[in-house]
């Protein structure tokens, strides 16, 4: 039940970010639904396909698509009220990333996958939905922005889940450790400008 609620929460918040990006691209209502749903279930779909979960979570349960569609509809009528849609997207995405990484890592752990697979599934669940959103809407993907603590935050969150599960028998310990670590790094990037070093080599010859 906990993992299901995490999936629902990630779907809802990611759908809000997808619909807000659709508003920046000035898409129609169908575009809002498409981008919202794509963002909401993209990462979880990749996770389930790689883990051979049958059926994929949103096919087994239609609630994620209902949540995503409802979120897209609400944003379609309210996005114009936001003073800074891009800033809102960044913070909602940070929340969604933290929840989705915890869900992805938790699903992999529940299937007794190795630590390396838990890390990969956490990152995949957290990052692929936003990547699809940005590519479809012709935005520079957050995961590829120079020095951005995005994939790093997801990786650290999944790693924290592994450490917490080894240290504590409480079922909520990995979730709390994952979400707090991931969000702290992502928030630090947004508030304090934390960045990774970027390559500064010579430009390629033509």
Tell me: pLDDT of 44 over 90. yes
Tell me: pLDDT of 116 over 80. yes
The closest of 6, 2, 25 to 126, measured between CA atoms, is 6
pLDDT of residue 133: 96
Residue-averaged pLDDT of the chain:
94
Decide: 101 and 6 in contact? Cβ < 8 Å.
Answer: no
**How far is it, in rounded angstroms, from Cα 37 to Cα 206?**
42
pLDDT of residue 123: 97
Tell me: pLDDT of 146 over 80. no
Tell me: pLDDT of 132 over 90. yes
Band (2; pLDDT cuts 50, 70, 90) = confident
**Mapping DSSP to helix (H, G, I), strand (E, B) and coil, where does residue 195 land?**
strand
DSSP code for 147? T
**How far is it, in rounded angstroms, from Cα 47 to Cα 41?**
10
Band (145; pLDDT cuts 50, 70, 90) = confident
**Type and span of the H or E element at 4:** helix 2-24
Band (41; pLDDT cuts 50, 70, 90) = very high
Tokens at residue 190, please? 């947004």
Averaged pLDDT, 183-189: 96
Tokens at residue 197, please? 């070093």
The closest of 11, 176, 19 to 88, measured between CA atoms, is 19
pLDDT of residue 204: 66
Q: What are phi and psi of 139, to 5 degrees?
A: -100, 155
State yes or no: cis peptide before 55, omega within 30 of 0: yes
Band (129; pLDDT cuts 50, 70, 90) = very high
Band (140; pLDDT cuts 50, 70, 90) = confident
């Amino acid at each position: 039940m906990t993992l299901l609620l995490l999936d629902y929460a990630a779907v809802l918040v990611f759908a809000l970010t997808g619909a807000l990006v659709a508003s920046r691209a000035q898409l129609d209502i169908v575009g809002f639904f498409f981008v919202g749903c794509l963002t909401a279930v993209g990462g979880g779909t990749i996770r389930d396909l790689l883990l051979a979960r049958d059926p994929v979570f949103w096919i087994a349960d239609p609630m994620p698509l209902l949540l995503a569609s409802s979120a897209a509809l609400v944003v379609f009528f309210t996005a114009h009220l936001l003073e800074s849609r891009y800033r809102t997207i960044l913070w909602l995405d940070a929340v969604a990333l933290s929840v989705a990484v915890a869900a992805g890592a938790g699903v992999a752990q529940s299937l007794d996958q190795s630590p390396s697979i838990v890390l990969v599934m956490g990152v995949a669940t957290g990052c692929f939905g936003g990547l699809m959103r940005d590519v479809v809407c012709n935005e520079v993907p957050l995961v590829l922005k120079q020095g951005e603590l995005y994939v790093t935050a997801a990786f650290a969150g999944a790693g924290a889940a592994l450490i917490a599960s080894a240290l504590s028998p409480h079922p909520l310990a990995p979730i709390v450790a994952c979400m707090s670590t991931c969000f702290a790094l992502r928030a630090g990037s947004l508030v304090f400008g934390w960045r990774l070093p970027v390559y500064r080599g010579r430009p390629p010859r033509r």
